[in-house]
Amino acid sequence: MSVGKAIPHESAEGHVTGGALYTDDLVTRYPGCLHAWPVQVLHARATVDAMRVEPALAVPGVVTVLTAADVIGENNTGVARRDEVLFDTEVHYWGQAVAWVLGETEEAAKMGALAVELDVTPGDAILGIEAAIAAESFHTEPGQIARGDVAAAMKAAPRTLSGELFVGGQEHFYLETHAAIASVDEAGSVLVQSSTQHPTETQEIVARVLARPKNQVVVQSLRMGGAFGGKEVQANPIAAVAALGCVKTSRPVRVRLDRARDFAISGKRHPFLGRYEIGFDDTGRVLAFDLELWSDGGYSLDLSAPVFHRALFHADNAYHLRDVRVRGRVCKTNACSHTAFRGFGGPQGMVMIEDALDAVARALRVPPHVVRARNFYQPGDTTHYEQEVSQADRITRIWDDLKRSSEFDARWAEVARFNEAHPNEKRGLAITPVKFGISFTAKHFNQAGALVLVYKDGSVQVNHGGTEMGQGLHTKMQQVAAQALGVPLERVRVMPTRTDKVPNTSATAASSGSDLNGAAIQAACETIAERLREVAGRMLAIDPGELEIADGVVARADGQGEALPFAEVVERAYLDRVQLSATGFYRTPRIHFDEAAGRGRPFHYFAYGAAACEVEVDRFTGMYAIRRVDILHDVGDSLSPLVDLGQVEGGFMQGVGWLTQEELWWAPDGRLGTVNASTYKLPTVGELPEELHVRLLPKATEPGVVYGSKAVGEPPFMLAISVREALRQAVSAFGEAPSSVPLASPATAEQVFWAIERVTGAEERRAAE
C-alpha cells in the first residue's frame, strides 16, 4: 500500500541539503538576468503628479525603468474586478509600487529605485473598518444568510446579550517572499517561473498585460517556500512585472520582493469587526443569533467577496442555530489588498460564535465547555444555509474522546486549585470544536485535471494542476498515483506544476488540492491500469478482470498463477501500440449554492476536530505560556499520516500566532509599522507547548473522496481558538467570576493585561485616578 503510509515529504532530502530549488534560486541559471526593484510611494493615499526616471538611469548598472508606458496590453491585474492598475498614478496604500527599476544587479536596481524622483500630492486616506463604515466605503453590497425569524426569536428568548469583537489580520509570512523570473524561449513565447498557487491565473494575467493569447505564455510553479493563500492571486502582478520587463529588454527578468517590501505590498488575512446579539435560555441553549460583520478588504476587491462569504458560512461553527441572521459587507480602505489566508474567512466567522458562547456561559455562571456541548449539531440538523451536516455525530464523538484523553475534567479541578493558591498567576483551560466546509464556494473551481505518463521502463511521471507549497500535496499525489497504478512509490515522479501540461487549472487552495487533483490522478491512472490489465490478460491468456496490479507486479487478484513485472507489461503495451499516457479529470459532484437566497449545498463535506488547551498568565505583564494542548482531528482515512500530522500541528500553531502575538500595527498615517520579523512576531519554538498531544481520528473513512480521505490544509488552523478561550478563562480567574471577559484579538500580552485590568476593576480605578 502506498496510500496511508507515513512517509516523509517527497522533497525532504532536497530541503535538508539545500538542493531543493525555489523560484529565486534559479537566477544564476538565467545568464544576463536583470533584477527588478520597486519604486514605492510612502503615503496611504496620494496622486503621483510627476515621475523623473533620469536620475535612476544615471545610476551605474540601471538598464531601464518600467512604467505604464511599457505595458503592451492591459495595465490592470485585477482578477475579481479590474481594480488593480499595475502601474498607477493613483496611490491607494502606503508602499504601493508605481514603477520598477531594472538593473544588471540587485544593488543597481535598489539604488536606481531610490534615485527615481516623484512629485506626489497626498490625499485623505480611509484607514480601518470604522473609518470605512463612516465614509460608506465598501467593495460589496450587503450580503446575508438567514434562517427563521431572528428578531422574533431574540425577543422571545429568556436572556440576551450583545458583544463586539475586532479580530486583527495576519501576515502570511511564507518564508519565501514573492518571486518570479520571466524569460523568452526560442519561439518567442514567454516562460514565467513563478512562486504562485495558481499558475493558470498567473498565465492569464501575464497574457493580459502582454496582450498575447494564453498559448504564448507558460507558467511554472516549481515549489513554493510556503504560501498559505498569500500566493493565490497576489503572485500575479509580480509575474506580470517580470514578463513586461523581459519583453521590453529581451533579457530574463527577476522580480523578488525582500521581506519588508513583501510585507508592505502584499495583502494579508482580513481584519474583521463583528457585532452580535445572542438570545439563549437558562441552560445555555442558543435560541437566536444575529451577527453583523465587516471585513477590511483593503484597496481592491481581490478575493474579499468569497472570503467574506466563508465567514458567513462558518459563523455557526459546530453549533445548531435555529433562528439566525449573519450579514455584512466588505470595506474598501487604503491598505494593501487583503486576500486569501488559510481558513479564508472561516476563522473570523468562527471566532465570533466562540466569543459569544463564552459570554453566554459567563452570564449563566456555567463552564463554557458545557454551553458549547449543549449547542452541538446533531445528526439530521442542517446549517443556517440549510445544508445537512453530514457526519454530525463526529462532533460529539471527537469532543467526548478528547475530553477523556486530555483528562479535561480532572484538570479543570486542578486548575481551579492552582488558581486558588496563586494570586499572581492564573491558569485557564478550554476546549473548542471545529467544523469546516470543504469545497471552493465558487463552484467552477471544483474541477481538476491530470496527465500521467508511463515510460517504457515502467517509470511514471505525474502532472497535475496542484502546486506544492510545503503542504505535501506532491507527496500525497505520488502516493495516489503509485496506489492507483500499482507501482512502488519510487517509480513515480511528480513533476513541477506547469500550465503547458495541465490547462485551465484551479488555484491550489480551499484545502482541496488533494481531493481534486488526487481524484483526477486516480482517474488517469485507472485508465492506464485498465489498458495494462488487458495487455497482461493477453500475455497470460486470462480474463483481465481477474488481474490486479500492485507493488509493480501484475497478477491474479487471488495470487494464483504467473505474475508479470509491471515494466514488462508496459514494454508489451508499447509494442502492441497501446497508449501509455492518459489524462484524468474530476469535478466535485452535487454542490450548488444560491447566493441571493442564501441556500444550497456549497460543501462536499465537513472536516471536524477539537482542541483542549491550558495556559498560564502572569498578572503583572499579561505575558503567558501555553502549557499543554491536546488535539483530535478528522482527516478521513489519511492519505499520508506524517504529512497530515504536520498539517494539523502546523495549522494549529499558525492559528496560535494569529490569535496571540501576530499583531499588524498600522501607524496613524497608514504606514504598516510591522514590516519584518523584528516587529511582527510569529511563534518560535519557544511558543510550542511542552505537552502537545495530537491524534488523527481513527476509522474516519469519507465516502466519495479519494481513498476515503479528507482535506486537511485549513481546518486545523481554527483549533487555535482554544488558546484564545483558555486565555479568557485564565483572565476570568483574576476577577470574581466576571460576567464577561472581553479580550481583544490578537491577545498580545498587552491585551491580556488590559483584560485582567478590566476583570479586576483596576482599569476603572486607573481611570478614576
Partner 1 sequence: MASELRFTLNGAPVSADGADPNTTLLGWLRARGLTGSKEGCAEGECGACAVLFVREGPDGQTRYTPVNGCLVLLGACAGQEVLTVEGLADGELHPVQRAMVELGGSQCGYCTPGFVVSLFAEYYRRGRAEEGFDLESIAGNLCRCTGYRPIRDAGRGLPMVDDADPRRARLGAPAPAVEAFTLEGATEGGRRFFRPATLAEATAIYARHPDARLVCGGTDLVVEINQRLSRFETILSLEGVAELRAFDDAEDALTIGAAVPLSEIEERLDGALPILEELLPLFSSRLIRNRATLGGNLATASPIGDSPPVLLALDAEVIAVSAEGERSIPIDALFTGYRQTSLRPGELIARVRIPKPFPTVGRFFKVSKRVHDDISCVAAGFALSIEDGVVQRARLAYGGVAATPARAKAAEAALEGKPWSRAAVDEAKAQLAGAFTPMTDQRGSAAYRAAMVPSLLEKLWAETEAR
Q: Look at strands 286-296 and 323-331 and give their pairing.
A: parallel
Using the rule CB under 8 A, which residue among 8, 73, 148, 552 binds partner 1? Answer: 8
Using the rule CB under 8 A, which residue among 471, 483, 514, 745 binds partner 1? Answer: 471
Are 728 and 741 in contact by the 8 Å Cβ rule? The answer is yes
Residues with catalytic annotation? 714
Q: Give the whole-angstrom CA distance, residue 373 versus residue 395.
A: 9
Using the rule CB under 8 A, which residue among 28, 187, 699, 737 binds partner 1? Answer: 28
**401 lies in the site for partner 1, by CB under 8 A:** no
**18 lies in the site for partner 1, by CB under 8 A:** yes
**23 lies in the site for partner 1, by CB under 8 A:** no
Which CA distances in Å does 625 have to 259, 514, 656?
28, 35, 12
Query: Grid coordinates representing 465?
Result: 494542476
CB of 21 to partner 1, least distance (A): 7
CB of 682 to partner 1, least distance (A): 6
**42 lies in the site for partner 1, by CB under 8 A:** no
CB of 719 to partner 1, least distance (A): 11
Nearer to partner 1, 99 or 312 (CB): 99
The span of 141-149, 197-205, 244-252, 648-656 binding partner 1 (CB under 8 A) equals: 648-656
**Residue linked to cell 485508465:** 527
Terminal CA-to-CA distance of the chain, rounded, Å?
A: 71
CB of 683 to partner 1, least distance (A): 7
- Residue closest to 515 by CA, chosen among 485, 545, 471: 471
Task: Considering only residues 87 through 106, tell me which ones interact with partner 1, judged by CB under 8 A.
Answer: 106
Task: Considering only residues 539 through 558, tell me which ones interact with partner 1, judged by CB under 8 A.
Answer: none
* Residue 687-726 contact track with partner 1, rule CB under 8 A, x = bound: xx---x-x--------------------------------
Phi, psi of 500 (to 5 degrees): -90, 5
**686 lies in the site for partner 1, by CB under 8 A:** yes
Helix (H, G, I), strand (E, B) or coil at 148: coil
Phi, psi of 291 (to 5 degrees): -125, 130
Using the rule CB under 8 A, which residue among 646, 713, 738, 742 binds partner 1? Answer: 646
Nearer to partner 1, 115 or 450 (CB): 115
CB of 227 to partner 1, least distance (A): 8
CB of 650 to partner 1, least distance (A): 4
Please give the distance of CA 263 from its chain centroid, rounded to a whole number.
17
Q: Which amino acid is at 625?
A: A
Nearer to partner 1, 634 or 757 (CB): 757
Nearer to partner 1, 21 or 131 (CB): 21
Task: Considering only residues 203 through 242, tell me which ones interact with partner 1, judged by CB under 8 A.
Answer: 223-226, 228
* Residue 245-274 contact track with partner 1, rule CB under 8 A, x = bound: -------------xxx--------------
**H helix intervals, 502-543:** 513-540
Query: Grid coordinates representing 759?
Result: 476583570
Q: Which amino acid is at 180?
A: A
Give the single-character DSSP code of 634.
Answer: -
Residues with Cβ within 8 Å of 397's Cβ and at least 6 positions away in sequence, in order, are 697
CA within 13 Å, CB half, 254: 23
**114 lies in the site for partner 1, by CB under 8 A:** yes
- Residue closest to 357 by CA, chosen among 372, 378, 341, 379: 372
Nearer to partner 1, 14 or 704 (CB): 14
The span of 108-116, 203-211, 273-281, 506-514 binding partner 1 (CB under 8 A) equals: 108-116
Using the rule CB under 8 A, which residue among 305, 607, 653, 705 binds partner 1? Answer: 653
Nearer to partner 1, 354 or 425 (CB): 425
Task: Considering only residues 321 through 340, tell me which ones interact with partner 1, judged by CB under 8 A.
Answer: none
Binding footprint of partner 1, residue count (CB under 8 A) = 83
Q: Give the whole-angstrom CA distance, residue 171 versus residue 230.
A: 9
Please give the distance of CA 38 from its chain centroid, rounded to a whole number.
27
**410 lies in the site for partner 1, by CB under 8 A:** no
Task: Considering only residues 611 through 630, tell me which ones interact with partner 1, judged by CB under 8 A.
Answer: 618, 620-621, 623, 625
Are 99 and 55 in contact by the 8 Å Cβ rule? The answer is no
* Residue 560-599 contact track with partner 1, rule CB under 8 A, x = bound: ----------------------------------------
Please give the distance of CA 260 from its chain centroid, rounded to a whole number.
21
Q: Give the whole-angstrom CA distance, residue 587 versus residue 595.
A: 21
Give the 3-state DSSP-derived string for 88-152, with helices as H, strands as E and coil as C: CCEECCCCEEEEEEEECCHHHHHHHHHHCEEEEEECCCCCCHHHHHHHCCECCCCEEEEECCHHH
**311 lies in the site for partner 1, by CB under 8 A:** no
Nearer to partner 1, 25 or 414 (CB): 25
**424 lies in the site for partner 1, by CB under 8 A:** yes
Q: Give the whole-angstrom CA distance, residue 512 versus residue 515.
A: 5
The span of 23-31, 181-189, 313-321, 504-512 binding partner 1 (CB under 8 A) equals: 23-31
**679 lies in the site for partner 1, by CB under 8 A:** yes
Are 746 and 681 in contact by the 8 Å Cβ rule? The answer is no
Helix (H, G, I), strand (E, B) or coil at 423: coil
Q: Look at strands 190-194 and 217-221 and give their pairing.
A: parallel
Task: Considering only residues 654 through 673, tell me which ones interact with partner 1, judged by CB under 8 A.
Answer: 654, 661, 663, 665, 673
Nearer to partner 1, 6 or 134 (CB): 6
Task: Produce one character per residue of 100-128: b if its CB has 16 or more CB atoms within 10 Å, e if not.
Answer: bbbbbebebbbbbbebbebebeeeebbbb
- Residue closest to 252 by CA, chosen among 187, 305, 181: 181
**681 lies in the site for partner 1, by CB under 8 A:** yes
Task: Considering only residues 745 through 764, tell me which ones interact with partner 1, judged by CB under 8 A.
Answer: 748-750, 753-754, 757
Q: Quick one: which H or E segment has residue 629?
A: strand 624-633
Using the rule CB under 8 A, which residue among 503, 600, 683, 708 binds partner 1? Answer: 683
Nearer to partner 1, 225 or 458 (CB): 225
Task: Considering only residues 146 through 185, tell me which ones interact with partner 1, judged by CB under 8 A.
Answer: 172-176
Max Cα–Cα distance, the chain, nearest Å: 96
The span of 70-78, 509-517, 535-543, 684-692 binding partner 1 (CB under 8 A) equals: 684-692
Helix (H, G, I), strand (E, B) or coil at 143: strand
Strand ranges (E), 148-263: 159-167, 179-184, 190-194, 217-221, 253-256
- Residue closest to 630 by CA, chosen among 648, 603, 646: 648
CB of 563 to partner 1, least distance (A): 32
